[in-house]
Structure 1
Amino acid sequence: MLEMAKIVVQQTQEEIPVMYNPTELSLNKTVVLLGQGSNIQFQRVDDDDLTVSLFFDTYEQQTDVRAKTNKIVALTQPTVGNAERREPPVVVFTWAGPLFVGMISKLDQKFTMFLSSGVPVRAELSVTFKSVLTKEEDQRAQGKFNCRQLWRVKENDRLYLIAQQALGDASQWRLIAEGNNIYDPLNFPGRHDIGRMLVIIDVHDETYNNGGGNA
């Protein structure tokens, strides 16, 4: 049995089926890098926008095709949120499983056939989805679950200052001390610590948070 693609509204689970499956899809990712030459720094991985061409035809039924296409057009309206901030709903484009999660950022609609009364019965839609991530997915895109930082110790460094700059939380200095076997944190850095490379424990690391061990 042929499985049809559909757009699912994430909040309400409303399903909007397409009439004809797309003939092709491109799901691309962009690695965001800063710097040049030997000084390249990874920033994050982004999902590129997904653009899908959809075709609707109600000529045989002699009915207005907008009854079907308006359900997709409605997804461009800011209907989710509160009185201070409203935005279009987050949707999932699914075809044999979820393929892309995002908001519709652009919709081009072209009517190509009409009844003698002027009612449109054939439409071509070009729908562009912009990726929307959960907080955890955004952290993964930034590599926070995979990367650890390195810190070269300077004379005026203190563990709480390193924690504040590297992790954004001065209270995490104990993690740095434990992860680098610093047994006398009050007197850190000693003379032998200057120039030492510390491994900064990633506080987003699931393995660490689940008791998987230190660096």
Structure 2
Amino acid sequence: MAKAGASLTRAQLVVMEPPTTAGAKPGGRLATVRFQFNPNSLALTKNTEWRRTPSRMAGATSLPEFVGSGPRTLSVEVFLDATATHDTSVENRVQQLLTACVPTKASLAKKKPASPWVRFEWGTAKTTSFDGVLSNLSVDYSLFDVDGTPLRARCALSIEEAGVDTPGQNPTSGSREARRAHRVVAGDSLPQLAWREYGDATAWRVIAEANDIDDPMVLVPGTELLVPGVEEVR
């Protein structure tokens, strides 16, 4: 329930210039697509990959070995309605979304075609706000003017997380030896964090010991973890 007197926060999609080099942050903001109506629901998915060696013993099973973690994917539906505004069509708003699916002019000029990076923003939400790329966009027009001009549309977006931190890289100082802090988000686990930081999922014990954690798979979102430098893993 919204707080009394609180103003409605509108969701928006920020379209940014893609990174110029591997591991870099996205570039300048190209556009901000503000939603006419806030979404009714958001779907966030994340997968992990496990490897299991078959057991030769009947009725027995081997323990799964953590291999790696996939990116987050956010699915959101955008409703557009030109009859609720002074717009004569929804096509201009649809075109704004389509620009996130094609290479930017700057990337084409450098002969390194790359589509923009995007970030969904809605208030202070963190688990659904991350830098990514638009992996899928579908548009369903549902109302037309007498001349065929589309007046209403539902746009389904899928944003796939595009991480810029490489394993063993300290994004704060650039030093592999310095300790740093990591704020836990939904879906995080110590093996996943160890893979991202050190390139070795089995090194999760180093992070666990530094933070007095017993269960590597149960982390509370919002908790700040101390991540030891790579020299402490050796």
TM-score by length of 1: 0.63
* Matched residue SS, 1:124: strand
**Does structure 1 residue 67 correspond to structure 2 residue 89?**
no
**Does structure 1 residue 207 correspond to structure 2 residue 207?**
no
Give the CA deviation at 1:85: 2.7
Give the CA deviation at 1:116: 1.4
User: What RMSD over aligned residues (CA atoms) do the two structures have, in Å?
Assistant: 3.0
- 1:45/1:141 contact within 8 Å kept: no
* Matched residue SS, 2:83: coil
**Does structure 1 residue 104 correspond to structure 2 residue 134?**
yes
Give the CA deviation at 1:206: 5.2
In structure 1, the partner of 2:151 is 121
Shift of the 91–71 alpha-carbon distance from structure 1 to 2, 3 Å rule, reads: same
TM-score by length of 2: 0.58
* Matched residue SS, 1:26: strand
In structure 2, the partner of 1:41 is 65
- Aligned residue pair count: 159
**Does structure 1 residue 85 correspond to structure 2 residue 112?**
yes
Shift of the 141–59 alpha-carbon distance from structure 1 to 2, 3 Å rule, reads: farther
Aligned counterparts, 1:160-199, within 5 A:
none
Shift of the 214–70 alpha-carbon distance from structure 1 to 2, 3 Å rule, reads: closer
Shift of the 40–135 alpha-carbon distance from structure 1 to 2, 3 Å rule, reads: same
Residue identity opposite 1:148 in structure 2:
A
Deviates more, 1:23-32 or 1:40-49: 40-49
In structure 2, the partner of 1:15 is 32
Deviates more, 1:57-66 or 1:85-94: 57-66
- The share of aligned pairs that are identical, in percent, is 21
Gaps of 5+ in 1: 151-204
Q: Tell me which structure has the larger Cα radius of gyration.
A: 1
Gaps of 5+ in 2: 1-6, 17-26, 54-60, 170-192, 206-225
In structure 1, the partner of 2:8 is 2
Cα shift readout 1:173-211 (whole Å, capped 9, x = no counterpart): xxxxxxxxxxxxxxxxxxxxxxxxxxxxxxxx95235x8
